[in-house]
Amino acid sequence: MFDINNLLRENIKNLTPYSSARDEFQGEASVFLDANENAYGSPLDQPYNRYPDPLQLEVKKRLSKIKGVPPPNIFLGNGSDEAIDILFRSFCNPGLDNVILVPPTYGMYEVSANINDIKIKNVPLTTEYQLNIEGIAEAIDEHTKLIFICSPNNPTGNSMNRDDVETLLVNFNGIVVVDEAYINFSRQKTFIQELTEYANLVVLQTLSKAWGLAGLRVGMAFASEEIIAVMNKVKPPYNINEASQQLALEALQNVNQVNNWIKETLIQRDKLVLELKNQDFVMDIYPSDANFILVKTTDPKGIYDYLVQQGIIVRNRSKIDLCQGCLRITVGTPDENNILLQTLQNFK
């Protein structure tokens, strides 16, 4: 049985969180002399002299309408990278606990585990880039606290089989983190509708990809109220700055604009795939549910270096296990994709 108290680090269970001025008084008042701010104002045209809302309630209310998840089930991080780090810091004892990763996958899980001195048990994806469920079951031990699943997966682009993820959710007594950074581009359904079903599910999403706000650094975690409360306790008090909160709130009004970009990106992705297939040096293009494609080539370094010389940057993933020969290419605007394709015509 999943019980958050069996998972939490003892020091976090006993932690008295920092109580900020904005936590201690939340009512209406006209004179705020409680936070040592500059009472005169800021050099900018905005009230940036005041600390932001530590729990970002306005942003969460708007997200709640879009996502269909109540605000107490939403955590906001300084990018979803911060949510990843906070999961390690909340649940994994350094030098004792371990986490299961399923490479090739997003690199920050490993980096974050290493920063926090958490042992990594790697259970590589199958050659079809799917979960090795038996391998994961064998790797789980009494100190396994988290399993990170990225779906659609970076860098392979495919979604994980839903049944496999549910098998883990049902059978694992730790937390299954499903990173849905690219879900807006996917044919698959999000897992956030399953939160009421699985107490051990954490879904990560971000405003950095389809929403076009990578520069603001706003990531989201959706989970049970219990898990979100822990993450809020561990996070730095003012982790989302006022400018990001205001701009995110404004941007979240523009769902239609974002949906149009998503549609256009998918059209462009399919075109890019069709055109690239004609090139001699392309051996395979893996099916993608994301805004990038993984392309297996005969000469990844040669192509990468040639493109860099022409001012075009893609990601060379060829040194990663199961990605030999592969370049990861983000879908650009029609102009950018045409420049890429025309440039590649001249690659010898």
Ligand X SMILES: Cc1ncc(COP(=O)(O)O)c(C=O)c1O
Catalog residues that contact ligand X under the rule CB under 6 A.
79-81, 106, 150, 154, 179, 181, 206, 208, 214, 219
Phi then psi for residue 288, to 5 deg, are -120, 140
Q: How far is the CB of 159 from ligand X (least distance, A)?
A: 12
Q: Whose structure tokens read 């659609």?
A: 152
Residues ≥6 apart with Cβ < 8 Å to 163: none
- CA torsion sign for 183, 122, 124, 174 is negative
Query: Which tokens belong to 241?
Result: 């700055």
* Closer residue to ligand X, CB minimum distance, 9 or 217: 217
User: From the CB of 83, what's the least distance to ligand X, in Å?
Assistant: 8
Nearest approach, Cβ of residue 105 and ligand X (Å): 8
End-to-end CA distance of the chain: 59
Radius of gyration of the chain (CA): 22
The strand pairing partners of 77, in sequence order, are 219
CB of 278 to ligand X, least distance (A): 28
Nearest distance, CB of residue 18 and ligand X, angstroms: 23
CA-to-CA distance for 174 and 7, rounded, in angstroms?
7
Nearer to ligand X, 153 or 224 (CB): 153
**Nearer CB in complex with ligand X: 213/340:** 213
Pick 144 or 208: Cβ nearer ligand X:
208
Residue number, 164 or 226, with CB nearest to ligand X? 164
Beta carbon nearer to ligand X, 8 or 100: 100
Alpha-carbon distance of 281 to 344, in angstroms, equals 10
DSSP 11: H
Minimum gap (Å) between residue 221 Cβ and ligand X: 10
Question: In DSSP terms, which residues pair with 294 in a beta bridge?
Answer: 328
